[in-house]
Structure 1
Amino acid sequence: MATLKAGDLLHITRAASPQFVKSFHFRVIRVLDWTTFDGWIWLEGYQLDARGDAVARRSIFVMQSGLTAVERHLCARQDSNLRPRARARR
C-alpha cells in the first residue's frame, strides 16, 4: 500500500489486526509516529458508519500490509447520497 495520508479511506478487517472481528471503514487523520513492531503502524482517525458519517474518533494499531484502501468513487457516491438530505434541512 502506498504511503497513507490524511483523508485516506480504509476498510479495516481482521487482515489488519485480529482484534477487528467486525470490519468497518476508517478515515485517516494522521499516521502516528510511535515506535512499533516492524510492519505495524498506529493510525488516528474516524470510524465511519454505513452512510459515511463519523461515529467515533479512534487510534488503531494495524498491520500495514492488511489495510485495504477504498476507491474514491465510493466516497463520492456516499457524499452524493447525503446532499439531498442536507438541502431538505434548509
Structure 2
Amino acid sequence: MTAPAPLRRLKAGDVVWLTREASPQFVTPLRVRVIREIPERYTYDGWTWFEGYQLDGKGGAVAKRELFVRREGVRWLDAPPAPARAVRRPLPRTPARVG
C-alpha cells in the first residue's frame, strides 16, 4: 500500500476554488486569492484557517475573509493575469526659442 500524497500548503498569491468539498458553508462556490495561511490557530486534523480576498468574476477583490476549510476540498486555479501597468512616456518637448 502506498502512502497518500502530502497535501499542498496554501501560500500567498494562490487562487483557490472553494465548494462544499472544502466546507459545508460554501453552498455557493467561492473564488479566493490567498493572503496567508494561519498556522497559529489549532484546528481539527485535515482542516486549516487562512485569510484571503474573495474575487469577483473579473478577478478583482470584493471582500477580505478569514476562512476555515478542509484541505482536501481546496482546488487550486491558475492565478489571473496581473493587470497591465500603465507606462509613463515623457512628453515631447519643444525647443526653447532664444533670441
Provide TM-score, normalisation by structure 2. 0.73
1:39 corresponds to: 46
CA displacement, residues 38-70 of structure 1 (integer Å, 9 cap, x when unaligned): 000001010000010100000000000000000
SS at match of 2:72: helix
1:18 corresponds to: 24
In 2, Cα distance between equivalents of 1:2 and 1:71: 15
SS at match of 1:36: coil
Aligned pairs for 1:4-83 within 5 A: 4-33=10-39, 34-72=41-79, 75-76=80-81, 79=82, 83=84
Across the aligned residues of Structure 1 and Structure 2, the Cα RMSD in angstroms comes to: 1.6
| Structure 2 residue ranges without an equivalent (≥5) | 1-6, 87-99
In 1, Cα distance between equivalents of 2:71 and 2:8: 10
**Count of residue pairs brought into register by the alignment:** 79
- Higher helix proportion, which one? 1
